[in-house]
Amino acid sequence: MTAAVDRALPLAGRRFDLSMPLLAVLGLFLCALVLLPVLWLAWYSITDADGSLTMANFIKLASDPTFVSPFLTTLAIASSVALSACAVALPLAWFVSCTDMPLRSTIRAFVTASFVTPPFLGAIAWEILAAPNSGMLNQWYRALFGLEPDEHLFDIYTVEGVTFAIACYAFPYVFVLVANALDRIPADLEDASAILGGSRASTLRRVTLPLVLPALLAGALVAFLQSLTLFGTPAILALPAGFHVITTKIWSFFQYPPNPHLAAAAALPLLLITVLLLRGRQFLLGRRSYAVIGGKSGAPRLVALGAWRWPALGFAVAVIALPVLLPYFALFKTAVVRTVSDPLTWDNLTFHNINFVFVEFSQTQLALRNTFLLGILAATGGTALALAVSYLTTRRLVVGHQVLGFLATAPMAIPGIVLGVGLFLSYTRPPLVLYGTLWILLLAFLTIELPAGYQQLQAAIGGLHPELEEASRIFGATRLRSLWQITAPLLRTSVIATWCFIFIGVIRELSATIMLTTAQTKLVSVIIYDLNESGDLGAISVLGLTLLLITFVVVLAANRLPVLGRTGPPLG
């Protein structure tokens, strides 16, 4: 088809097309973006301080109990998070998608809103709620039963507490995937099961669950990987409790005296596990078919819960209280009182924390400016990069487009802390010294968020027939002009969704950021982490609420802006 279009071009229009050289440069940039940090990581892991090849780094780690123990602890936490996230998200998704439970849209909106909350901020909120001495829930518990000051019901500074705090912000991934899968199940299949004598429980077990199994496995994998590679929550809750996980242990190798060779060797097993898990999921799902065969069918019919409607709603409210309602209340209360233990009364209300953050604390304005500048640049650049790469691979315009597709999805297998180590090793020496600048953080965010943006836009472009682009080419437009003026406006909703997703990802990121910031390039996430180490929870609450508020405003504004001069319905 492309050759036919090229033959149909008028002779006047057959001028040199800059599109292909530019797209080739894009491919080279993608190679450098993904491969360079991984190659440096591999090199440092098998060399010593003198540059000699050695396996001593791996031998030392394998024989060191202070490394093996965090590794096993991480696997246990990640497995527990994945299981608990599935156990909570599956029934909640079924209530929201398949039943007549009240306030279903509101519950779905609250679960979706939890994506905006950075896990490290949620961990601090649960620190305020469930610390054994000063935690609000423990204070209420002691006041209710008249107990001694050292009595407590909850202790967030334990392995179980870390697991719980991570699961609060991992289960939404499972929920969204399973709820979307349930929404797509046609009612005809369940009706056919009922006609053949299947009970509701049998239909659920033999029809509904098999169809949502790929989504459930994908959600469990995402929850496991999120827990495996998370830095902020363990650093906030596990380190005060006196134990490490794998990400905090890797981070500790960069404390004085730094040992980048040992850090690189410690990061590679994390990378290997991630790759194996992603490949294992493809192997398991590839052995069976989970597709619905047939044409257009009726919308799913809601199951009438009867008297169970209100218990179901109570369960849903209790679930969304964990990542959203209770943490947000804790942050608000801590922001407007002088100390965490003060009750929320008119006499205790103060602007002290707000004044400290925005007037007295000198780093606030710089951190906010850096955060949202990088968020906007990464979201814009990442969306443009994902759009161009997905266009190349979907339309198969260049030789080796399969390689581009692989490179665009490869960062999915690179944990944030591992990428941070790789970028640190790559850009702290000539010829390209980027450490200490915002550029290294921009590269990190582009790499981390590229796979999600690429997959979303590739699916959207695959749904567009290329005939409009071919018509544009026949009338003399270059490929880049066709992409900019024809394809991109037709993908308005997908482009905005990708932009918002990357922007939120930048705001939530701490694992790679903690490895790459300096005094002049600190972001709000790093400032919050630093303030937590000094115990200033009031200032943290003000900064956290400010971050959430501005994020919501930016995302809402992005959904109401036309893309490339075209108008259309807002996202969602």
* pLDDT value of position 291: 47
**Is the CB of residue 547 less than 8 Å from the CB of residue 509?**
no
The alpha carbon dihedral of 367, 371, 372, 377 has a sign of positive
The pLDDT tens digits of the residues spanning 61-104 come to: 888 888 889 999 999 999 999 999 999 999 999 899 888 899 99
464 Cβ neighbours under 8 A, 6+ residues apart: 487, 490, 491
The angle subtended at Cα 194 by Cα 190 and Cα 199, nearest 5°, is 105
pLDDT above 70 for 234: yes
* pLDDT value of position 567: 39
pLDDT above 60 for 426: yes
pLDDT average, residue stretch 373-386: 92
pLDDT above 70 for 435: yes
pLDDT average, residue stretch 172-196: 73
* pLDDT value of position 443: 92
pLDDT level of residue 417 (50, 70, 90 thresholds): confident
pLDDT average, residue stretch 193-215: 67
Distance CA 32, CA 37 (A): 8
* pLDDT value of position 163: 96
pLDDT average, residue stretch 480-505: 80
- CA-wise closest residue to 387 among 245, 229, 498: 498
pLDDT above 60 for 106: yes
* Residues pairing with 99 in the sheet: 303
The pLDDT tens digits of the residues spanning 258-315 come to: 888 998 998 888 888 888 887 776 665 554 444 444 444 555 667 788 889 999 999 9
pLDDT above 90 for 178: no
pLDDT above 90 for 408: no
- At residue 287, φ and ψ (nearest 5 deg) are -85, -10
Q: Is the peptide bond before 327 cis (omega within 30 degrees of 0)?
A: no
**Is the CB of residue 258 less than 8 Å from the CB of residue 402?**
no
Distance CA 400, CA 389 (A): 12
* pLDDT value of position 8: 47
* pLDDT value of position 11: 42
pTM of the model: 0.84
Distance CA 39, CA 31 (A): 11
pLDDT above 60 for 14: no
Query: What percentage of the chain has pLDDT greater than the value 90?
Result: 32
**Domains in the chain, ordered, with CATH?**
1-10+21-45+340-572 (1.10.3720.10), 51-287 (1.10.3720.10)
pLDDT average, residue stretch 157-180: 91
The pLDDT tens digits of the residues spanning 512-527 come to: 898 899 888 999 999 9
516 Cβ neighbours under 8 A, 6+ residues apart: 420, 423, 424, 435, 440, 441, 444
pLDDT average, residue stretch 465-469: 69
Instruction: Please give the residue that has the higher pLDDT: either 565 or 423.
Output: 423
**Is the CB of residue 557 less than 8 Å from the CB of residue 551?**
no
Report the chain's terminal Cα–Cα distance, integer Å: 35
The pLDDT tens digits of the residues spanning 381-404 come to: 999 888 888 877 877 766 666 777
Distance CA 22, CA 166 (A): 42
The pLDDT tens digits of the residues spanning 111-138 come to: 877 888 899 999 999 999 999 988 999 9
Distance CA 343, CA 341 (A): 6
- Return the axis-axis angle of helices 537-558 and 119-130, rounded to nearest 10°: 140
* pLDDT value of position 292: 47
* pLDDT value of position 295: 45
* pLDDT value of position 77: 96
* pLDDT value of position 204: 65
